[in-house]
Every structure is written in C-alpha cells, then in structure tokens.
Amino acid sequence: MDEEASFLLRALPSLDSIKLMRYCGDMSFQEILGHGTLRRLCILPGAQRAVRPFVKTREKIDSILAYCPRIEELTVSIPGTNGDFREVEIHRALGRMPRLKKLEIFFDCSGFYAWCKGGSSLQPTSPLRYADIQDILINASIDEPLIYSIFRTIIEASPREFPLQRLKAVIFDFGNLGVEYTADLDAIVQFLFRKWQYIQVQEMVMTTL
C-alpha cells in the first residue's frame, strides 16, 4: 500500500493538507516532501510486523522542515525509546519548524521499534520477552514532570517569531504486547494510557485529557 499511496501523492497537484494514516512508508513519505505548499500534515503509520516499520527519526523531521517549511499544523507518531538522545533530538527538530502553531505527538510505546537497537525478527504470533514488556511499560509511564520536560525542550527550540500555540501529547499503541496477556496487564496498560495538552497563552498550562 505504500507504493500505491506514493503513486497517488505524485499524481496530485501541490496540496495544502495531507492526512496519511496506517499506510505510510518511505516511498509515500518521499512524495509528501514534494508538496512544499503544505500547511497541515498528519502522518500516523500502522504497524505490520511482516514489513519494515516506518519510523520517525530526526532526519525525517529535518526533511519535513527543509521541504515543507510552511507547515502550521503537524500530527506525527514517534517511537518511545526510554527518553534517550534520539527522542530528545526529535523533540528539538520539531521545535525548529519555523511556522508551526499546532503540534500533536503520538508516543508509540508498542515496542515495535526494537530494530533501532539491533533488529527484531518477531512475528505477530511470537510472544514478547519480559524485557520487551518492561520497555513498553516504561515508555508508557510518562508522568507530569517528564511531559513538562518534553514540552519545554520543544518550546525552547521554537523560533520566537512564530511561537507554538498548542502542543498535545498522546501515549498510545500497546497492541504489540503479544498475542495474549493477562487481564491484570491489560488493566495496567489502560491506566497508563494518557493524553497531555499544553496551550501557550501567557504561561504554560498543562492538563491531562
């Protein structure tokens, strides 16, 4: 489907808005970059273990910044990697987008991006190890001080001429915990599912949705 989406995007004239969900890969992403007139962009790829995942990296965010500098509203998913330097780099890259007014980040805590740390051959029927489940739960348990730090990193990287007006963070996608897991674990997952929103008026106002 990535190839079909890329053909469609290539055939269309320059667009003002693109919303691409589930079927998104490197080919369609490259075609998105050809729409330099974009003001609104939503990219939320799905996760099929049979194919290489499409993962947002700092380099991909930099490409959006370089080729689509007019974007004012952006919705993206980024992999949760325990708050390491790769996550921080992505946050700073998002903050550097010059005209961005509204940003919605979906933190993907599914553990599907283990290949970033050396690769994974897991199939949909393969149960995850305890270490994998632990990483997923750590990435999902984002509390208020941490989300404040993430927001602050993005805000401090933002150009002052066009300050970010609205920033929303969503913790999502626990579907890759394995084919079967207990009701107790499911209850933990549901408890950790949260949404955070920051609205810039005169000072930082942060709420749990």
pLDDT of residue 18: 94
Which 3-state string (H, E, C) describes the chain? Answer: CHHHHHHHHHHCCCCCEEEEEECCCHHHHHHHCCCCCCCEEEEEECCCCCCCCCCCCHHHHHHHHHHCCCCCEEEEEEECCCCCHHHHHHHHHHHCCCCCCEEEEEEECCCCCHHHHCCCCCCCCCCCCHHHHHHHHHHHCCCHHHHHHHHHHHHHHCCCCCCCCEEEEEEECCCCCCCCCCHHHHHHHHHHCCEEEEEECCCEEEEEC
Amino acid sitting at position 54: F
CA 71 to CA 15: how far, in whole Å?
A: 11
Average pLDDT, the chain: 73
Average pLDDT value for residue range 130-155: 70
**Does the structure show a pLDDT above 90 at 15?**
yes
Question: Which of 18-22, 63-67, 82-86, 144-148 tops mean pLDDT?
Answer: 63-67
Tens of pLDDT along 79-94?
776 667 888 888 889 9
List pLDDT tens digits, range 92-123: 899 889 899 899 888 777 655 444 444 444 44
Q: CA angle, corner 56, sides to 94 and 126, nearest 5?
A: 145
The pTM (predicted TM-score) of the whole model is 0.74
The domain ranges of the chain are 2-10+18-208
